[in-house]
A and B are shown apart, each in its own frame.
Chain A
Amino acid sequence: MTFTMEQPQTTSESEKSGPTQQTSPRADFLKVTNFNFYYGKKQALFDVNIEIPARQVTAFIGPSGCGKSTLLRNFNRMNELINGVRHEGDILLNGRSIYDKKIEVIALRRSIGMVFQKSNPFPKSIYENIVYSLRISGVRNKATLDETVERSLRGAALWEEAKDRLHESALGLSGGQMQRLCIARAIANQPEILLMDEPCSALDPIATAKVEDLIHELKRQFTIIIVTHNMQQATRCSDQTAFFYLGKLIEFDATQQIFSNPGEKQTEDYITGRFG
């Protein structure tokens, strides 16, 4: 299932920018405009403006509490599950507001998949983990389900390791395999965007390399936004990087630029380990 807009937004609109905004070199796909977010009285995001291009990997970096995960969770409106939150401004996917009253949140979340820091497979078989959302959507055709399982596991580079144990418990997989299963589960819905919140922080270097290699492959099909505390991971995986500090977007530019010669002193101080 996809979440698309009948009339894509024009380029001229994407060129509007606020004082803290910096546009990436590619056309906007996911666009955040004048976005403020509050947990009750506490403001977590301040006037964020960012345009995230399609089919690329965008990394969000910044010290803990800077708002990067908060923004990530706003993209599929997961923050609405928390009491007392509110927002100002807008987030546009393909030119259409994700807060549009006609939007079904469930459909939006299918369109914007998410992978978390800690892998969270259901206590079911590998096969059932993948087809879970299809089953609750009413898909019963076995050929369709089988095809989805194979496609998703291949997409998550897990097929060769899992094809002979599809009906075994997913909880028997290694940590790295579980995380890739969660990625397979997320892409089973063929989302447009894949959100990854520190997807490798609990993995060993080999499993991390496999997930990073997978991210490189997945960006051919999906737009990926990854939150990471690992600078090297951001440099290896992402095409552009956004640096957040105290709820503000400080700088957004090509990853190579950010890590070799950032424009803002706060970015420089953070990535060189002088504060954080």
Chain B
Amino acid sequence: MNPTHILTSFEEALRQLRNDALMMASLTERNLENARKGLFERDEDWCNTVIADDEEIDTLEVQVDRDGINVMLRFHPMASDMRNVISTMKMSVNLERIADQAVNIARRSRKLIARPEVTEIALLQPIFTVAETMVKDSIRSYANGDVELARGLKERDRELDDMNRSFAEKMTNHMSACVELIPSYMDLIFMARFLERIGDQAKNIGEDSIYAVSAEDTRHTGPAVD
């Protein structure tokens, strides 16, 4: 644990930035959870809640930017402080995108649940679980400075990519067998794609957490994509 700063106003400004970012992270996690409920419980109210609550997350993104600019402008942070400010501001961008993907899922869910239920929705459950757990762990890695947890997100993101690819193939095959369900299958394919993007953004948060703790830039260091 680092000792506190001599300048209490600096300490307070950093705490404010962190608190706003963690609040934003918490709301984003909650929105993704609500999107899951809306989709799998076929509950339009949860979908509407996700869409409405996104505004609060957008407001917090702006607030985190303001907090970060305030710290840089007034206190010229150095070393780990500077890395923390940069990482926090970058994390808020990724959180806002995750929240947007939750909104996309909620919108698609509203369309999907307006039609008869398709059994293939169960195939989306594990993809949702992986994406959601990645988001939780990326936030934990930031909050606790857990570099090892953050490092693991890269491999999990690759697994999520594979799951999404495999799911899209299955849905495409089902489409040819059952053409009247194509609109529902398309919705599921899109939702898997949104979840895959959420995994990318969770991985990005993990990379920023690593940078904040160890100054190591791990972006674009994975194996080449085919």
Contacts and interface: CB of A to CB of B under 8 A. Distances in A.
Given A260-B83, A260-B215, A261-B215, A276 B6 contact: yes
Interface stretch (A23-31, A85-93, A113-121, A266-274): A266-274
Contacts of A259: 78-79, 82
A232 B76 contact: yes
A262 interface: yes
A167 B141 CA distance: 67
Contacts, number: 43
Nearest to B14: A272
B83 A273 contact: no
A232 B76 CA distance: 8
Interface string B129-156: 0000000000000000000000000000
Contacts of B4: 274
Contacts of A274: 2-6
B5 A260 contact: no
Interface in A133-161: none
A271 B83 CA distance: 13
B81 interface: yes
Interface SS of B by simple majority: loop
A183 B81 CA distance: 35
B76 A231 contact: yes
A98 to B, nearest CB: 34
Interface in B1-43: 2-7, 10
Nearest to B4: A274
Contacts of B75: 273
B77 A272 contact: yes
Contacts of B6: 273-276
A175 B83 CA distance: 37
A269 B3 contact: yes
A213 to B, nearest CB: 19
Given A259-B79, A260-B82, A260-B83, A273 B7 contact: yes
Contacts of B81: 272
Interface in B47-105: 75-83
A24 B202 CA distance: 38
Contacts of B3: 269, 274-275
Contact of A262 (B7, B10, B76, B79): B79
Nearest to B75: A273
Nearest to B78: A271
Nearest to A271: B78
Interface in A225-276: 231-232, 259-262, 267-269, 271-276
B100 to A, nearest CB: 31
Contacts of B79: 259-262, 267-268, 271-272
Given A259-B78, A260-B83, A261-B79, A273 B5 contact: yes
A272 B81 CA distance: 7
A111 to B, nearest CB: 34
Contact of B5 (A231, A232, A261, A272): A272
Contacts of A260: 78-79, 82-83, 215
A94 B5 CA distance: 42
Nearest to B81: A272
A274 B8 CA distance: 10
A137 B81 CA distance: 52
Contacts of A267: 79
Nearest to B11: A273
B79 to A, nearest CB: 5
A230 to B, nearest CB: 10
A261 to B, nearest CB: 4
Nearest to B216: A261
A231 B2 CA distance: 20
A273 B10 contact: yes
Nearest to A230: B76
A262 B83 CA distance: 12
Interface string A28-62: 00000000000000000000000000000000000
A262 B81 CA distance: 12
Sorted nearest first, the 6 A-B pairs with minimum C-beta distance are A261-B215, A271-B78, A273-B5, A274-B3, A272-B81, A268-B79
